[in-house]
Amino acid sequence: MSQVFHNYIESYIMKIKNKFYTFTCVISFIGLILININCGSKDDSGKGDYVVIDDFESYYDSEPGTVFNFWVDGIESNDVNNGSWIGHPSEPYMELEVVHSGMKSVPFDYYFENYTYSEVSIKSEDLEIGYDWSIYSPKYLTLWFHGCLENIPARMYVKINDSKVYYSGQENDLTKSKWKRWDTEITKFDIDFSNVKTFSIGFEESEEHPDALGQILFDDIRLYKSLK
Ligand SMILES: [Ca+2]
C-alpha cells in the first residue's frame, strides 16, 4: 500500500500578553500519521494603539471563571462599609445585551444607604496586562460607561494602587442611557507605572445626592499611547 503525503496549512490568531499573533502552520501527514507541524508567527500588535486592561470578555458563569473571582466587590471583601456589587445577581452574571464591544460588559451596582463608599478592585496579577504598565508608554487611561435613567448619581473615580482620579464630567452622565467614553491623562495618577498592584473603580457620595444608588455598565478599559 502506498503512503500518501499531505500538507495542510492552517492560520490561527492568538492573544498572548495583550499582543495578537498570527500563527501559520504547515501540518504534514503521511497517510494518517502526523509527521511534522511547522509554525511561524507574525506580531499583529501594531494594529492598535492601545493595550487592554479589561474588556470583560474572559469571564463566564461557572467557577473559577466568574467575574467575582477576579474583581472584588463589597460582598467578596466582607467590607461592611463598601456598598458595591459587580455582576448580575443571577446568571448570566455578565451583561450580554448592552455592550460597548465584544459580547460582554459588566454591571456595577453602587448603594450608599448604610455604606460609606462603593468600590471594586482587581489585582494586576489577575489581568493579562500584568503589573508593569510602563512598558506600553501609556498616555491615557480610557474606559466606557453606560448609565441608567433611574440612577441617583455619585462621584465616580478610578484608582490605580492608592492614587485616585475623579470623573471630570457631569455627575448626571451617570443617568444617561448611552455609552460614554472617559479619558484620563496618565500623569494624573501619582504612581510608579512599572509597579501596578491594583486597579479600582468606585463611587463616593456627593453632597447634592445623599443615599445615592444606581447601576453602571463598564466596558473596554484600556491604556492608549495617543487619542485620535
Ligand atoms: Ca466587552
**Residue 8, class by beta-carbon neighbours within 10 Å (0-12 exposed, 13-18 middle, 19+ buried)?**
exposed
Query: What is the C-alpha separation between 204 and 210, in angstroms, rounded?
Result: 10
Q: Is the confidence at residue 43, as pLDDT, over 80?
A: no
Q: Provide the pLDDT for residue 4.
A: 65
What is the per-residue pLDDT across 147-179, written as a single tens digit (0 to 9) for each?
999 999 999 999 999 999 999 999 999 999 999
Distance 9 CA to ligand 1 centre (A): 31
pLDDT tens readout for residues 50-85? 999 999 999 999 989 999 999 999 988 999 999 999
C-alpha of residue 89 to centroid of ligand 1, in Å: 19
Q: How far, in Å, from the CA of 26 to the mean position of ligand 1?
A: 33
Using 50, 70 and 90 to split pLDDT, how confident is the model at 106?
Answer: very high
3-state secondary structure of 59: coil
Question: What is residue 127's predicted lDDT score, i.e. its pLDDT?
Answer: 95
SS3 143: strand
Q: What share of the chain is helix, strand, coil (3-state, %, to 5)?
A: 10, 45, 45
Global model pTM greater than 0.85:
no
Please answer whether residues 115 and 83 qualify as being in contact, where contact means their C-beta atoms are separated by less than 8 angstroms. yes
- Please give the pLDDT value at position 33: 77
Higher pLDDT residue, 22 or 180?
180
Spatial distance between the Cα atoms of 81 and 74, rounded to a whole number of angstroms: 8
Query: What confidence tier does 206 reach under pLDDT thresholds 50, 70, 90?
Result: confident
Considering the segment(s) 50-224 as one domain, its CATH architecture is Sandwich (2.60)
CA of 100 to the centre of ligand 1 (A): 6
Q: Domain segments of the chain: what residues?
A: 5-47, 50-224
Range 149-166 burial, b when 16+ CB lie within 10 A, else e:
eebbbbbbbbbbbeebbe
- Over range 192-217, report the average pLDDT: 95
